[in-house]
Amino acid sequence: MPVIEIRKAGDKVLKEIAAPVEKIDRKVKQLLDNMAETMYAADGVGLAAPQVGVSLRVVVIDVGEGIIELINPEIIIKEGCENGTEGCLSVPGMYGEVERCATVTVEALNRAGKKICINGSGLLARALQHEIDHLNGILFIELAKTMHKG
C-alpha cells in the first residue's frame, strides 16, 4: 500500500469542509488502507482524509489499541473539559495547548457500512475531536491557547 504525501498547513484542502461518503466502495476501502499506512509511517495517532488531499469524511486513528476506521463520523455526546498538548502531521514540529472535551461518543460507519459507536476518553477523545475538526476545515493551531516548537 502506498504512503501518501501529507498536506501541510496552508494547503487549501485543509480548510475545506469535507464531503460525506455516499457509498463505501473499493476506492474508499483503499483510501482507509493507504491512510493507515501513511499514519503509521509518519508515527501519527490519527489522520483525516483531507490531510492526504481527499476532501471526504474519513478518519483513521490508533492510540495504541489498534486501528479505528471511521466514515462520516459525528460527535453525538461531549462531556467534561481538559487541556492537553497536541501536535499534527500537517503542522510538523509545532505543539500547542488545546482545550477539548474529556470524553466523547462518536457515531460513524465502518468499512462494511455498519453503524458503530466509539466512546473515548483521554488520548482517544482528543484524537477523535482533532481528526473530526480536520473534516470541518479546522486545524489545532486555530484552537491552541499557546504554541511551542517540539
pLDDT tens for each residue of 80-139: 999 999 999 999 999 999 999 999 999 999 999 999 999 999 999 999 999 999 999 999
Annotated binding site for Fe cation: 88, 130, 134
The answer to the question of residue 124 being in a domain is yes
The answer to the question of residue 33 being in a domain is yes
The answer to the question of residue 7 being in a domain is no
Burial of 49 (0-12, 13-18, 19+ CB in 10 A): buried
The answer to the question of residue 44 being in a domain is yes
Q: Which residues contact 144 (CB under 8 A, 6 or more apart)?
A: 86, 96, 97, 98
Region 43-63: mean pLDDT is 98
Q: What Å distances lie between residue 41 and 4, 45, 46, 47, CA to CA?
A: 10, 11, 12, 11
Whether 131 sits among the annotated catalytic residues: the reply is yes
Q: Which range of residues forms the domain containing residue 101?
A: 12-149
Is residue 70 pLDDT above 90, yes or no? yes
Annotated binding site: 88, 130, 134
The answer to the question of residue 4 being in a domain is no
Please state whether beta strands 94-100 and 58-61 pair in parallel, antiparallel, or not at all (unpaired): unpaired
The answer to the question of residue 6 being in a domain is no
Give ∠ CA 134-137-142 in degrees, rounded to 5: 85
The answer to the question of residue 30 being in a domain is yes
pLDDT for the residue numbered 145: 96
Q: What is the CATH number of the domain that holds 73?
A: 3.90.45.10
Q: Which of 146, 65, 31 is nearest to 99 (CA)?
A: 146
Is residue 1 pLDDT above 70, yes or no? no
**Catalytic residue (choose from 37, 65, 131, 142):** 131
The answer to the question of residue 48 being in a domain is yes
Is residue 150 pLDDT above 90, yes or no? no
Global confidence as pTM: 0.97
pLDDT for the residue numbered 2: 81
**Number of domains the chain contains:** 1
